[in-house]
A and B are shown apart, each in its own frame.
Chain A
Amino acid sequence: MNTLEAPSFRRGGRMNALETTGLGMRHRRTWALRDCSVAVPAGRVAALVGPNGAGKTTLLRLAVGLLTPTAGQVRVFGRPARESGERMAFVAQNKPLYTGFRVSEMLRFGRGLNPRWDDAAARRRLTELGIPLDRRVGRLSGGQRTQVALTVALAKRPDLLVLDEPLADLDPLARDDVTRGLMGAVAETGLTVLLSSHVVSELEGVCDWLVVVNGGRVQVSGDIDDLTARHSLLTGPAETADALAARLPVVSRSGAGRQATLLVRDDAPPPDPRWSARPVTLEEMVLAYLRAPDAAALPRPALSPVH
């Protein structure tokens, strides 16, 4: 298989923030996640993408130690996930805030539970966002509630922040605000982020690392710029498509009538001059893989250094 190497570009040392090996989770007889080996290098903003029910939430909950795996293991900055609680923060999809609490009470609650809590930063952040501290959480808008959940998570000063569908059910303006807040936090602290989403288009420019999960298995994992640069979209006459497809690793194929389109894992110009090539977007690439569950683009298994 034409495998993709993990890139050398990274920030903040060579360690992986998150590493899973042979991870599996079985509910009764069904595997929600199986044989899942992924690595997210420190300092990255990683997207976990896949259809609903693909195992994204299971993977995230295993990563932060909320679930105990049936098989395999999780390491966070080189240590077992269960010993790394203080270095991680998790925002679940339903943004578990106490709706009867005032925002200031959420902060007091967080301060009591977390020894690394940064109360000043949390208050500053909420003031900048114009969220009143005396407002009850239940009376905030969806975007504001997400911002409070994000503020509480960031106040724990995590090295790894894990977010389950943080942008789901937010309006476009709130999405932009939340994304900006998250990216600002990355710029300030250099923390590693892993966020899940089923809307790929909104991850362009936001994430730099991609993990695609499909049917309980990892399908794609790697640096987004590297991955997209190594794929292209070829368009040409349909009658020559089979011949071309036999020579190139085709991920997906579409077309109508005399024209065919191939999304290939290859960056060389097409060998046949009747075919034209253009770059793929992140969304085109992800959709192509999701439509072809048997295709995969994974880095070679790397031996992780022992610390």
Chain B
Amino acid sequence: MIEFRLDRGSGVATYLQLVQQVRHALRLGVLQPGDRLPTAKEVVAQLAINPNTVLKAYRELEREGLVTGRPGLGTFVQRSLGQTSMGDRARLRAELVHWVRDGRQAGLTLEDLEALIASVLTDSFRQEIA
């Protein structure tokens, strides 16, 4: 079973942290179809967090079709999250290599590039969440 952790100062909503940890576990194969997620009560006993937050996270996972709630039994993993295909990864990596080379020629340092990527990622995912 998955054991949740919490980063209280991260600015990432608690329910979202739980959602991300389940997705991560699905990607790594730590959670597999048929596995039961801990009940809200179990998570509360472990992390001392609001049970509504746990339920909200599970509703979000259910909406994404990753888990399904069975009344009286619990919440179960419905499907795993496959990795992106090797071809996609190779192509994206090549594009990024090209982009980094461009940036360095324009005089950007390692930290400049990191800050730029982080900011684009943040913006992109914030729009998705909102």
Task: Tell me the A residues contacting B by CB distance below 8 Å.
Answer: 9, 11, 43-45, 176, 179-180, 183-184, 186-188, 201, 204-208, 224-225, 228-230, 232, 267-269, 276-281, 284
Task: Tell me the B residues contacting A by CB distance below 8 Å.
Answer: 6, 8-16, 40-41, 44-45, 47-53, 55-56, 115, 118-119, 122-123, 126-127, 129-130
Instruction: Give me 9 A-to-B residue pairs in the complex whose CB atoms sit less than 8 angstroms apart, sorted by A's number.
Output: A11-B55, A43-B52, A45-B50, A205-B14, A205-B48, A229-B13, A267-B130, A276-B119, A279-B126
| Known interface pairs A269-B126, A278-B11; 12 further A-B residue pairs with C-beta atoms within 8 A, sorted by A's residue number | A11-B55, A43-B52, A44-B52, A180-B44, A183-B48, A184-B44, A224-B13, A228-B13, A267-B130, A269-B127, A276-B119, A279-B12
Partner pick for A208 among B48, B53, B123, B129, CB 8 A cutoff: B53
Partner pick for B53 among A176, A205, A277, CB 8 A cutoff: A205
A204 x B50 contact (CB < 8 A): no
Q: Which residues of A contact B119 (CB under 8 A)?
A: 276-277
Partner pick for B52 among A11, A179, A267, CB 8 A cutoff: A11
A205 x B122 contact (CB < 8 A): no
Q: How far is the CB of B59 from chain A (nearest CB, A)?
A: 8
A9-B56, A186-B51, A232-B126 given; A201·B8 CB < 8 A: yes
Q: How far is the CB of B107 from chain A (nearest CB, A)?
A: 16
Q: How far is the CA of A150 from the CA of B34 in the complex (A)?
A: 38
Q: How far is the CB of A188 from chain B (nearest CB, A)?
A: 7
Q: Which residue of A lies closest to B59 (CB)?
A: A9
Q: How far is the CA of A204 from the CA of B9 in the complex (A)?
A: 8
Among B40, B55, B126, the most chain A Cβ lie within 10 Å of the Cβ of: B126
